[in-house]
């Protein structure tokens, strides 16, 4: 089973889309194994987006992601990383397919509502940035025999 880090970004929280975003992934069959609301500080934002340091949009990205509360969720499941990316949609909401979160709710690349880990390695690092080991819960769901 894979873990993926999902963030409902400040625009998603402000627009009242937290439940909708979580619900789409939960209904797909992914299991929530960690969840918290927080406001990122600049140090955490710079570490989370370190791969984009030096790009033209980096400073705007950091100030946006720390501009309000976010909700961080760890979703677990078979192929969770790829499945989350499919549900999230393309980076630019203007190009994202209808039926994806960004395609259905966004119009601007700087306000694309949600983050999803883009690889297994990055997922593992990102989960560790936001959650301690004790905050990730191992439990069984009875419904998993109907999902898998
Ligand atoms: P992703 O969120 O789809 O993985 P990344 O390429 O990792 O996209 O970029 C991280 C975030 O940086 C995006 O979600 C978006 O908010 C922002 N971003 C990416 N490219 C641009 C851009 O060209 N202009 C403004 N913001 C951008
Ligand atoms: Mg990314």
Does a structural domain hold residue 98?
Answer: yes
Counting from 1 in the atom list of ligand 1, the atom nearest the Cα of 115 is: 2
Q: Determine which residue's CA is closest to atom 17 belonging to ligand 1.
A: 110
Does a structural domain hold residue 104?
Answer: yes
Does a structural domain hold residue 146?
Answer: no
Does a structural domain hold residue 70?
Answer: yes
Does a structural domain hold residue 82?
Answer: yes
Q: How far apart are CA 135 and CA 71, in angstroms?
A: 14
Summarize pLDDT for 129-142 with one digit per residue, the tens.
Answer: 999 999 999 999 99
Q: How far apart are CA 48 and CA 40, in angstroms?
A: 10
Active-site residue among 48, 52, 111, 115?
Answer: 115
Provide the domain count of the chain: 1
115 is catalytic: yes
Does a structural domain hold residue 39?
Answer: yes
Q: Where in 9-121 does DSSP place strands (E)?
A: 31-38, 70-77, 114-116
CB hemisphere CA count around 77 (13 angstroms): 22
Does a structural domain hold residue 148?
Answer: no
Q: What is the CATH number for 63?
A: 3.30.70.141
Q: Can you give the residue range of the structural domain that contains 46? A: 2-140
CB of residue 90 inside a 6 A radius of ligand 1: no
pLDDT of residue 137: 98
pLDDT of residue 118: 98
Measure 145 CA to ligand 1 centroid, in angstroms.
Answer: 36
Summarize pLDDT for 59-90 with one digit per residue, the tens.
Answer: 999 999 999 999 999 999 999 999 999 999 99
Does a structural domain hold residue 40?
Answer: yes
Q: What is the dihedral angle through the alpha carbons of 111, 39, 85, 112, rounded to the nearest 10 degrees?
A: 0
CB of residue 117 inside a 6 A radius of ligand 1: no
Q: How far apart are CA 84 and CA 31, in angstroms?
A: 12
Summarize pLDDT for 5-34 with one digit per residue, the tens.
Answer: 999 999 999 999 999 999 999 999 999 999
Q: Are 6 and 102 in contact (CB under 8 A)?
A: no
Give the mean model confidence (pLDDT) for residues 44-65: 98
């Amino acid at each position: 089973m894979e873990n993926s880090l999902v963030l409902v970004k400040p625009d998603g929280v402000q627009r009242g889309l937290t439940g909708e975003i979580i619900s789409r992934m939960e209904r797909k069959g992914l299991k929530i194994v960690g969840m918290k609301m927080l406001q990122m500080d600049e140090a955490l934002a710079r570490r989370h987006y370190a791969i984009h340091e030096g790009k033209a949009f980096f400073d705007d990205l950091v100030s946006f992601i720390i501009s309000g509360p976010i909700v961080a969720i760890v979703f677990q499941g078979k192929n969770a990383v790829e499945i989350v990316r499919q549900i999230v949609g393309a980076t630019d909401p203007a190009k994202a397919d209808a039926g994806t979160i960004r395609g259905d709710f966004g119009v601007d690349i700087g306000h694309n509502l949600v983050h999803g880990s883009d690889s297994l390695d990055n997922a593992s690092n990102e989960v560790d940035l936001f959650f301690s080991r004790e905050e990730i819960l191992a439990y069984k769901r009875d419904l998993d025999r109907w999902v898998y």
